[in-house]
Each structure stands twice: as C-alpha cells, then as structure tokens.
Homo-oligomer: A and B are copies of this chain.
Amino acid sequence: MSQARLMDGTALARRIIEETGERAAVLTERTGTAPCLATVLVGEDPASVTYVRMKQNRCRKAGITSRHVALPAATTTAELVGAVEALSADPGVHGILLQHPVGDHIDERAAFEAIAPGKDVDGVTFASFATMSFGLPGFVSCTPGGIMRLLDAYGVDPAGKRAVVVGRSAILGKPVGMLLLARDATVTYCHSRTRELSAAVREADIVVAAVGRPRLIRGQDVKPGAVVIDAGYNAGNVGDVDFDSAVERASLITPVPGGVGPMTIATLLEQTVRAAARQLGVAEG
C-alpha cells in the first residue's frame, strides 16, 4: 500500500493559536483585561526552563500575558501549595501551569490539587481527569486534548473503532484513553506489563503511543490502514513509533517532531483564553 498521509500538528497548532489570538484580542478589548497564564517553576532544570520560556513566548504572541513564579529547588510542599493557592485566589490570573517535575521531595499531587478547577488549563487536577473520563465539561490534559483535535482535523471519528493506548501515565495515557472512550471508541490500555504487545497493537484502528520508549512500535505491529499517533518524546527527536516502517502501513501518522508536540501548547493557550472568558464573564463564541 502507499505511504501514510502525515498529520501536520505544526500547521494545525498554528491555526488554533491564530484563532486563539483573535479571541484573546476581542476579550481584551471588551473587558480591558488580557487573559493571563501563571507559570510556576520549581528549581532550574534546563529542560523545564526551556519549556516554560517557550510557553511564555507563545502566550505573548497570542496576546496572553503571563506571570512567572520561580521558586528555588528547595521549596517545600507547603510553600508550593501556598504559592499555587495564592494564584488560584488571584482574580488577575486566569490559568495556572505548574511545570513538572517539581522535585522528588515535593508532593506533586498536593500542589496540583491546589489549582482551582476553573484555572486548571493544563488539565492536571483530579477534577479535570474525572470530567474528561465522564465526558463532562471541563479542561482536558493538553496533550490528550491536542491528540483529539488532530483526529478531528483529519476526519478520524473514533466511534466504534478499536483504539489502543500504549502507556498509562496520569497526564497522557490514562486521559487520552478516557477521551477516546468518551467518543465511543473501544479502548485498550497497554503498558510495560502487557504480554504480546505487538498482537494487541495490531488490533488497533487507532494507535496512541505514549510510553517514552524509542521506536517501541514498529511497522509490523501496525494494522494496515491504521491511524498512528506518536505522543512519545525521546532523546534525539525520536518518537515511540518507528516512523520509517510504520509510515508504510498506516493510513495517517504523526511525525516527530511536528505532530503531537505543537498541539499540546495550542491546547494550553486555547484553554487559557476560554478560562479567562469565563472568569471575565464573557460568553464564548
């Protein structure tokens, strides 16, 4: 069969960010207040510093102001929770992003739960996970939400299809499976303890690789015509899918980079503007 069509996350994310920028401008004009995303960073991990700076830059371009809270690596759980609670209570902040990891000595969950649900634009709280799982209104985790947008943009309706999610992390594997289930896919979660992973993946009409192991999913594991979403991110811009062999079997496939990655930040910005609109009392278009 012919090579798969690429799912261009860069182009889709650009469109979403443009539309988000337009909505942010309208909101700012109508209310006199620009949407504001607070970013919280504990310590100085170089990758985290880079991520946060990238998010701030994208915010600026979309007309979203950002407020940065930098805390020392030695911050305690109580101090971090206090800082996040202050942002949750601050009417000038519409969305909160707590960059993780926060350090092993901190109870990350306690810090996440200090984010007010209405400001959880990164979709990390218990409440957001539950609303995603139950198909209720709320904020989604950004990467899973971005994956669903990609599927929609390429006309992939999950209803009745078999979806296999490889990975079960709290911010990626578990929520993307729940979002696919809410859209009526038959969803299988595979992970490090799965026996016969290849056989399980071969059942999938939609594969989401989200496990963080370079090239774990090979072309021979892909059912001909399947949609392959590579949400893996490994050193050297390598995904969880062996692209060169999978592209020969899939009907649609995300490249790495330029597939899922850009969608994450687009979802973050979009949700920030939505949160701001709600908090500023402006009905959404």
Contacts and interface: CB of A to CB of B under 8 A. Distances in A.
Interface of A: 109, 126-127, 129-131, 133-134, 136, 159-160, 162, 168, 170, 174, 177-178, 181, 184, 186-191, 193-195, 200
Contacts of A134: 129, 170, 174
A124 to B, nearest CB: 11
A121 to B, nearest CB: 17
B194 A160 contact: yes
Given A129-B133, A129-B134, 7 more contacts: A126-B131, A127-B130, A134-B170, A134-B174, A174-B178, A181-B189, A187-B189
A247 B186 CA distance: 26
A184 B189 contact: no
Given A136-B109, A195-B160, A186 B186 contact: no
A240 to B, nearest CB: 17
Contacts of A159: 193
B186 A200 contact: yes
B191 A188 contact: no
Given A126-B131, A170-B134, A174-B133, A186 B181 contact: no
A14 to B, nearest CB: 33
A130 B109 CA distance: 11
A195 B203 CA distance: 12
B190 A189 contact: no
A131 B200 CA distance: 27
Nearest to A131: B126
A78 to B, nearest CB: 19
A32 to B, nearest CB: 33
A191 B186 contact: yes
A194 to B, nearest CB: 4
A191 B186 CA distance: 7
Nearest to A174: B133
A199 to B, nearest CB: 9
A235 to B, nearest CB: 27
Contacts of A190: 186
Contacts of A188: 186-189
A51 to B, nearest CB: 23
A168 B194 contact: no
Nearest to A186: B194
A107 B175 CA distance: 24
